[in-house]
Amino acid sequence: MRKMRKDIVVVGAGYTGMMCAVRIAHRTRRDGDVTVTLVNPSDRFVERLRTHQTAAGQELTVHRIPDLLDGSGVVFRQGSVTAVDPEERRVTLADLGVLKYDTLVLALGSRADTSLVPGAEEYAFTLDEPRRLAARLAESGVAAVTVCGGGLTGVEAAAEIAESHPELKVTLVSRGEPASMTGDRARAYLATVFERLGVSVRSGEAVAKVLLDGVELADGSVVPSDVTLWTTGVRVPAVAAAAGITTDENGRVVVDAQLRSVSHPDVFAIGDAAAARQAWGPIHGTCQSGIPTATHAADNIARLLRGRTPKPFRFGYFHQPLSLGRKDGLIQFVRKDDTPRRFILTGRLAARYKETVSSSPIPVFRISRRVNVYPYLSKGGRATR
């Protein structure tokens, strides 16, 4: 008897959505009754690991999603998802098209949260639109740039802009010490790099408001700024929450150990869209953890299609790689729970290391069209059990 066709829909074609769709298609390639559809608003693949380079004005290779999917068996549908109906199992697109699904994968990613302080939405740039920022930095009359946020994204952006535009005064404003999640040796090295690049640091400062021509701090002082870059906080599209799928306070889908929604088991969530946990605590959104969630969800979907039991996700962190311009870098090696170890890598060798990390997803996608690739540097060992 002929099997009933199964429709798998993956929403979002970032690192995780791309990986998941390609892997499901490969794992079910001998099943003529499985259709995998990948939905994304644009046909251009965005390398989120390189947006700070684009923002600094560097021209990078353009990758088109249909080209990356060529030969994979995945059907690409360009469009924005406006609603999900988990009861009827359908996804509605902005062009009024509707996709029915048997299994849905939410790989919606995240965007910078400019709602945290007044003025950020109106006056700040984000790395979600790096070309717009690059065009502004290239304009005459721009003299001062302020980067709000001392996380790894803010640190990379400040270093990249300062190196690419040495004529600009770059200031990094941060509540805590920049790259506070790294160890003492790493932060000491970062301080020497910022000094060399001319990046001024205002640590221990909270941003109260973003102005047209500056950043107002909590103490009332103002940092003059022609261009302000906001890198603090992220938000997840509200599609899942609006659909009645159980989410956390940040809009991420609450998933079980198998990466399935706790309220709708036919919905998987991966990457930034998933509120996933390990024994040591919650997983935070990075490419390092996102792509493993994608491969694991794909494998579990393939297992379910074959009537097998899905397996729990196990993951541990390995490193925190930062680029500090094109010729310098910082690699903080970490324990499974992302706390820093003593060992770090710096300088040109670290820059090459980071470039290897940044360039790896595209080849992994292409290889995954033919063989199963396991992009885990660590599965966490006993720490995840």
pLDDT confidence tier of residue 2, bands split at 50, 70 and 90: very low
The Cα-based distances of 11 to 15, 57, 67, 269, 270 in angstroms read: 12, 30, 18, 10, 10
For residue 32, pLDDT over 90 is answered with no
Centre a 10 Å sphere on the Cβ of residue 37 and count the other Cβ atoms it contains.
18
The Cα-based distances of 47 to 63, 336, 361 in angstroms read: 9, 25, 9
pLDDT confidence tier of residue 384, bands split at 50, 70 and 90: low
**Coil/strand/helix, residue 8:** strand
**Coil/strand/helix, residue 281:** strand
Residue 102 — left, alpha, or beta (φ > 0 → left; ψ -120 to 50 → alpha)? alpha
Whole-structure pTM value: 0.94
For residue 376, pLDDT over 80 is answered with no
- Residue 352 has what pLDDT? 97
How many Å is the maximal CA-CA distance in the chain?
A: 74
Q: Which two tokens stand for residue 304?
A: 């379910």
DSSP strand pairing (111-112 vs 144-148):
unpaired
263-278 mean pLDDT:
96
pLDDT confidence tier of residue 81, bands split at 50, 70 and 90: very high
Average pLDDT over the chain, rounded to an integer: 94
What's the pLDDT tens digit per position in 337-353? 999 999 999 999 999 99
Q: Which two tokens stand for residue 345?
A: 């890598």
DSSP strand pairing (207-211 vs 214-217):
antiparallel
Higher pLDDT: 41 or 286? It is: 41
pLDDT confidence tier of residue 130, bands split at 50, 70 and 90: very high
Rounded distance, CA 20 to CA 90, Å? 19
Domains of the chain, first to last: 6-110+236-316+359-384 (3.50.50.60), 120-230 (3.50.50.60)
Rounded distance, CA 15 to CA 31, Å? 25
pLDDT confidence tier of residue 1, bands split at 50, 70 and 90: very low
Percentage of the chain lying above the pLDDT 70 cut: 97
For residue 137, pLDDT over 90 is answered with yes
- Residue 289 has what pLDDT? 92
Which one, of 109, 129, 128, 112, lies nearest residue 16 by Cα? 109
Q: Which helix (H) or strand (E) holds 3?
A: none
What's the pLDDT tens digit per position in 87-125? 999 999 998 899 999 999 999 999 999 999 999 999 999
Give the distance from CA 62 to its chain's centroid.
Answer: 18
Q: Which two tokens stand for residue 173?
A: 């404003």
For residue 3, pLDDT over 70 is answered with no
What DSSP string describes 65-126?
HHHHHTTT-PEEEE--EEEEETTTTEEEETTS-EEE-SEEEE----EE-TTSSTTHHHH-B-
**Coil/strand/helix, residue 276:** coil
Rounded distance, CA 281 to CA 92, Å? 34
Rounded distance, CA 249 to CA 234, Å? 12
Q: What angle do CA 347, 351, 354 make, to 5 degrees?
A: 135
Q: In this structure, which amino acid lies at residue 334?
A: V
**Coil/strand/helix, residue 346:** strand
Rounded distance, CA 212 to CA 122, Å? 8
Percentage of the chain lying above the pLDDT 90 cut: 89
Rounded distance, CA 378 to CA 384, Å? 11
What's the pLDDT tens digit per position in 291-304? 999 999 999 999 99
- Residue 375 has what pLDDT? 76
Contacts of 294 (CB under 8 A, 6+ apart): 15, 16, 17, 18, 19, 20, 23, 107, 270, 271
267-277 mean pLDDT:
96
- Residue 385 has what pLDDT? 56
For residue 169, pLDDT over 60 is answered with yes
Q: Which two tokens stand for residue 297?
A: 């969800």
Rounded distance, CA 335 to CA 340, Å? 6
DSSP strand pairing (340-346 vs 329-334):
antiparallel
DSSP H helices in the chain: 15-27, 51-55, 65-69, 120-123, 130-137, 152-164, 184-197, 239-242, 287-305, 347-359, 361-368
